[in-house]
Amino acid sequence: MRDEITNFQTCKSIAIMGGTFDPIHNGHLVAAEAVRHRFQVDKVVFIPTGRPAHKEGKQVTHNEHRYLMTVLATMRNENFDVSRIEIDRPGKTYTIDTIEQLKALCRSDVRLYFITGADAIHQIMSWKEPERLLSLCDFVAVTRPGYQKNKLFEDIGELRDKFASRIHYMEVPALAISSSDIRNRIRRGEPIKYLLPQEVEDYIYKFGLYQDEEQNEVKFVLSIDTMREKLQSALSLKRYIHTMSVSQEAMRLAEVYCSASERQKAEVAGLLHDCAKDYPEGLRDRFCREYKVPVDSIMQKQPDLIHPFLGAEVAKREYQIQDEDILNAIRYHTTGRAGMSKLEKIVFIADYIEPGREPFRGLEEARRLAYLDLDMAMKYILEETIQYVKERGRLLHPLSQEALDYYKNK
């Protein structure tokens, strides 16, 4: 928040552009620039919503995706800022809370303009504390050309008479563009170029956002419910709880970094990562022979390193997993390796940071880095793990050192 305080304290007037920005598009940018010019505001602050109360029950893309797309879309305009006020605030998102929080960051005489669609003005009386809201800021209702204002005037009659000077109207031709239309175009495989900034389009395709989830669904021979039932029989209660927690954490990470199909793979890889962990020694050794799992000299002296390599073979044979990326995520979730795939990194990190872990040195920093950059998190976790192993006089598998060297040099 320090940067926001510094920037906003110098502003005599600020326009606030709120929205889900799912995704942000050129209509948002054109409207923001038009308001900036007409009202001569010092800054336009884009505020992606956190948990919008009016969209409860509707699927909204992960906060971090919407925030980063907004940053990419606005970075070329020095008069535009992006704030995390709403996505970092817990609980449901209400505009009145945002305005009050923002005013606390500004000089006492700042004038605020809240930019919204004209349709939202129709519903303003259903918002939280609407009269207090209008006493704190001006509303700029941006409309498409030809929008009929008469119905709007009727809907807000009493409010209009009391706060006439606080409600302004602007026609913005680019508002014919809509986020929902862009999402639908992507699902249908239609072009979205020139509807939104190139950087945002590239981001959407990089992370596979708005794809048809049914088209991307990964088919498994066994259902995920069946896999869970088998695991309950194969694992201790404590190990099963850990497994479920890793699976959920892997899905959360995949929601930030991956497409819909990869999120499903993360769920399964997290679920099966420890599927061979609780085998008794005799059974473990027998399966290693039957499944031809190579057990090197380090693994012979450090048997707890065997289970991920055996687990990949168990997942293939007993859980009928054929996807090599999932199998490798299971195989290397303990040692890591150089050049890991995105899914491998997600499962490795999820196993380390899952919520059920007892507090230990470096855990919170690993959790912070995990949602910033996977490679940074990998480097940090490998450094901490290797130090932990050495401090306790245990044997380090060379794959772990190779992995750390890889991320140090990347």
Angle, CA 220 vertex, CA 214 and CA 222 arms, to 5°: 130
The three-class DSSP label of residue 82 is strand
Confidence (pLDDT) at 143: 80
Q: How far apart are CA 376 and CA 370, in angstroms?
A: 8
Phi, psi angles (nearest 5°) of residue 142? -90, 135
Write out the chain's pLDDT in tens, 410 residues: 334 544 688 899 999 999 999 999 999 999 999 999 999 999 999 999 987 665 555 678 888 889 999 999 999 999 999 999 998 888 888 899 999 999 988 988 999 999 988 767 767 767 888 888 888 999 998 887 666 666 666 655 666 666 666 888 888 877 778 899 999 898 888 899 999 999 999 989 888 888 765 445 567 888 888 999 999 989 999 999 999 999 999 999 998 888 766 788 999 999 999 999 999 999 999 999 999 999 999 999 999 999 999 999 999 999 999 999 999 999 999 999 999 999 999 999 999 999 999 999 999 999 999 999 999 999 999 999 999 999 998 999 999 999 999 999 87
Domains assigned to the chain: 2-207 (3.40.50.620), 214-409 (1.10.3210.10)
What are the tokens at 51? Answer: 């948990």
Say how far apart CA 406 and CA 261 lie, in whole Å.
27
Q: What is the pLDDT of residue 272?
A: 97
How confident is the model at residue 3, as a pLDDT? 46
Instruction: Name the residue among 388, 378, 387, 389 with its Cα closest to residue 349.
Output: 378
Quick one: CA dihedral 251, 252, 258, 261, positive or negative? Answer: positive
**How confident is the model at residue 8, as a pLDDT?**
81
Q: What are phi and psi of 44, to 5 degrees?
A: -110, 125
Radius of gyration of the chain from its Cα atoms, rounded to whole angstroms = 26
Question: What pLDDT, on the 0 to 100 scale, is given for residue 5?
Answer: 47
Helices H, strands E: what count in the chain?
Answer: 23, 6
Class of residue 395 by CB neighbours under 10 A (exposed 0-12, middle 13-18, buried 19+): middle
Instruction: Report how far residue 134's alpha carbon sits from residue 38's, in angstroms, rounded to the nearest whole number.
Output: 20
CB-CB contact of 179 with 210 (8 Å): no
Asked if 316 contacts 330 with a C-beta cutoff of 8 angstroms, the reply is no
- Amino acid 12: pLDDT: 94
